[in-house]
Amino acid sequence: MAKLSNSPSLATGLIALATGLLLAGCDRTDERIERAKSVTEAAVEQVAGGGAAPKSSGGTDMASVPVEARAVAGAMMDPEVVTASTDQPRSRFAIGSIIAKPRDLPAMPSPTEALIMQRPDLADELEAQSEAMVREELVIDDQIVEELEESAQAGDGSVERPLRDVLEARPQVRELRVAPRPGELSIPRALPPDQMKLARRAVVTDRAIEVQTDARALMLDTMTEFGLAGQVELTRTGQMVVQIGSDGADPTQFRDLPAREIPDLFTAEGAARPGLPRQALNADLRCPDNPNSDEMRRRPVLATQCMVERLAASGQFEYVEKDFIFDHQFIRRPEEPPVQVAVSPDDPLWELQWHFFNNGAGEGESPGGSGFVDFWTDGASTGSRDVVVAVVDTGLDMNHPDIVDSLNVAPGWDMVSDPTMGNDGDGRDPDAHDPGDLCDPTVPFAENSYHGTHVAGTIGAAVSDNAKGVAGGAWNVTVVPVRALGKCGGRLTDINDSIRWAGGLVPAFDTEGNEVWNENPADIINLSIGLFEFCPASLQEAINAVTERGVVVVSAAGNARVDTRFYSPGGCQNVVSVAAGDARGQIAPYSNYGDEVDILAPGGDLSRDDNGDGRPDGVLSTRLATNCFDPVTGDPVSTCYYAFEQGTSMAAPHVSAALALLKARDPALIGSSLSDQLMSALAPRTVEQCASPCDDYPGATPVEGNPDLCLRPCGGGLLDLGRAAPGD
């Protein structure tokens, strides 16, 4: 079931606003109401309509910049390799780690209620502000109707004055678009920082403590029954984390157990599966009726399964689930040295970023382009640092030459709790630098992905318009890196906490136990991560918690060539789920698809060169890579700072950057009003552009009249930000 409407919410919201205000004036007739509605519809169509004619773009001559500012990595891939790369293994989980939430846990206080509980003196002030909003709504109805009518009709029937001008002249109307319903209290956005922290703080009530205490007792009793030892962590959000372990050892580290004792971690021949043994494949285990304590201690994977089943059967929990391991959504290259392909020496790296080009088939355009050039050049906006995008990923390469001095990067946090997965010698800390995430160094040509750096660079962490390297989607933006994935992936518990910290809902803690809040709460959170599982309940809760505060969560749809509803977080509710398109504007062969997908955006296809630029049609962004080449001389370069990649991971940040630009242009947009504005910037796709050979996608629905092609629904259309640019 799709989560976002394809109709422009801006139009709907403003029409509803105008209509509601008209109804408040008793002397208005039905005819006048309908006239105002039609005026509003026409004005909104002008505001959100297509962009102006495409404009040419250029960049700095490649030969004039140092090699480190132009060397790139990326080679053409065999299409069969791209397809084979999407054959996903069963999902993995952290052995001994379980997430649960008590069933009878009372609802956490809303931010407003939390603020009043801690500052009762603010109650009257907040209520007065809410009443003032209602009174203001009743007062301005005549004013807005008159201005709508005055701007309505020119001689040719067109709208003479854009509705945007009316809104700019009446700022109180803009505020009403995000105001609460009459009678509800809302936190003023201008509260002092100390009061905002109080408002974000979750208040744990006595009843919540009582429920968690009872649940903890059951968890510990169950572990004792199974002959296990461990601990239970309580959180202020109500979720509880069970860590099975013994003698105080890290409960997820079981590296030295023989193959026969953890059979699901090994192949039938007894060879270790790729990745650390503690990241178990989610085997179809079932707990025996009478589990043996010795076997449970010997087989921690089975012990994890038995704990999940026993706690779920108790009826005391709303959900009990394994601590799943998420992966980034790169489609990896083949395990062979890349083929060097020469590029015209006078082409700057910008000319290789087809994914930002205007959508079209003319010069400087791409059929798969996302229309950023039109949005920039028409003076709509190149962004604002008042807009915050949090990137929950592998962290950020703070030493990257295009990032090290970037004013677009704000302090983040390392949320990877397991020191081994963290790969940096410690657990959670303020350092969101990406030290690398190489999982199995024995795999030929394996390397650190620096995935979060590539994603953040596409959004705008890299310095744009600086005569070197690449451009980002938003030239001015605040990017907050939140490191949740490390060596071999990221745990669900860390991802849940990362989402909440990014949204400013929970604090992190420094080494002395002091609370550290995100001083730049996100407007948009990018999740270019994936798990081949239905959306875990705890993840959905974390997403709901931030979206209720007006945050837009953008997620990669996944690279498994399956229906996105089987994937997380792309199949979760309340996310903008993004499938990947190629340079032709067609859904990429690796991309997930389905009704859960909202938008198709450039994700690239390294097996094609449809634009004929001599390079594979990947997405070019910031990333430390090896086996590179100098596009001016054609000489090999051992390492470089820019790389072509492909995946729904690459598609999602295009959408996050587009949302950031839209919000920079119209700061009043939040939550669904912002994401719905984005839906007005989509180019329609044909059935053929959202279809693929049925042999590659068993179970997909054949296209009517063409039984060899199967439909792969890819959302409301292809991202085309030029459609949201103002006309000339």
As annotated, the active-site residues are 393, 451, 649
3-class DSSP state of 197: helix
CA angle 16, 182, 136 (to 5 degrees): 75
Q: Which residues contact 618 (CB under 8 A, 6 or more apart)?
A: 74, 604, 605, 606, 643, 644, 645, 646, 650
Closest by Cα among 132, 136, 237 to 186? 132
C-beta of residue 276 within 8 angstroms of C-beta of residue 420: yes
Dihedral of alpha carbons 82, 86, 87, 92, sign:
positive
Q: Which residues contact 514 (CB under 8 A, 6 or more apart)?
A: none
Cα Rg of the chain (Å, integer): 26
List, as one string, the DSSP characters of 373-415.
HHHHHTTS-SEEEEEEEEEEES-B-TT-TTTTT-TTB---EE-
Alpha helices in 447-487 (DSSP H): 451-459
Structure-block tokens of residue 693: 């050979």
Cβ-based neighbour number of residue 363 at 10 Å = 7
List, as one string, the DSSP characters of 637-673.
EEEEEEEEE-SHHHHHHHHHHHHHHHHHH-TT--HHH
Cβ-based neighbour number of residue 290 at 10 Å = 5
- Residue 492, Cβ density class (10 Å: 0-12 exposed, 13-18 middle, ≥19 buried): buried
Closest by Cα among 393, 524, 398, 405 to 464? 405
Q: Which residues contact 51 (CB under 8 A, 6 or more apart)?
A: 358, 371, 374, 375, 378, 722, 723, 724, 725, 726, 727
The secondary structure of residue 629, as a DSSP letter, is: E
Structure-block tokens of residue 264: 């699901």
Q: Which residues contact 565 (CB under 8 A, 6 or more apart)?
A: 534, 571, 594, 595, 596
Structure-block tokens of residue 537: 């309940």
- Residue 448, Cβ density class (10 Å: 0-12 exposed, 13-18 middle, ≥19 buried): buried
